[in-house]
């Protein structure tokens, strides 16, 4: 006996349409770059570096999609399982102009990080999210 996938493949090869084709690839609605840290982060400088790296990666993905974004969000959090103070916070910011420029995204992310950073906390995870995408040719005011 064969599985459903093999059966459909055989039927498709024999000219019978069994699998619907997606005509246009769906465009992404958000790009998220986040990571749990192997070692807890306690210093702002280390978190700043991580957020900048995530921002750079997210901007690269955005450009690969040939899109620009209008919103940047940042989050930081402790581990749910660790003893000690628990903390989670996030902030979002609308960019002045839609952009896929790494510098614009990093600048926004760092501004956001400064507003949610809390000293004396052992952070387990952080991330950045880009949303509100549009076509760059529509935004000629940049």
Per-residue pLDDT of the chain (142 residues; tens, 9 = 90+): 567 778 877 777 887 777 666 555 567 899 999 999 999 999 999 999 999 999 999 999 999 999 999 999 999 999 988 888 899 999 999 999 999 999 999 999 999 999 999 999 999 999 999 999 999 887 555 4
Listed in sequence order, the residues at least 6 apart from 9 whose beta carbon sits closer than 8 Å to its beta carbon are: none
pLDDT computed for residue 142 by the predictor: 45
| Topology, domain 24-138 | Dna Ligase; domain 1 (3.30.1490)
Whole-number pLDDT of residue 16: 79
- What does pTM read for this prediction? 0.78
Domain extents for the chain? 24-138
User: How distant, in Å, are the alpha carbons of 43, 50, 87, 119 from that of 81?
Assistant: 20, 22, 12, 19
Burial class of residue 19, CB neighbours in 10 A (0-12, 13-18, 19+): exposed
Answer for the pair 126, 33: CB distance below 8 angstroms, yes or no: no
Separation between Cα atoms, residue 134 and residue 40, nearest integer Å: 36
């Amino acid at each position: 006996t064969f599985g459903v996938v093999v059966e459909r493949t055989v039927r498709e090869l024999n000219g019978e349409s069994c699998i619907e084709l997606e005509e246009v690839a769906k465009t992404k609605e958000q790009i998220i770059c986040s990571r749990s840290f192997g070692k807890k982060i306690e210093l702002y400088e280390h978190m700043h570096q991580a957020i900048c790296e995530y921002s750079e990666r997210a901007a690269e993905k955005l450009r690969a999609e040939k899109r620009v974004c209008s919103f940047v969000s940042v989050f930081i959090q402790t581990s749910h399982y660790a003893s000690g103070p628990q903390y989670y916070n996030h902030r979002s910011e609308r960019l002045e102009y839609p952009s896929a420029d790494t510098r614009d995204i990093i600048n926004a992310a760092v501004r956001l990080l400064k507003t949610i950073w809390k000293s004396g906390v052992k952070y387990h995870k952080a991330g950045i999210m880009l949303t509100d995408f549009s076509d760059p040719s529509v935004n000629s005011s940049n």
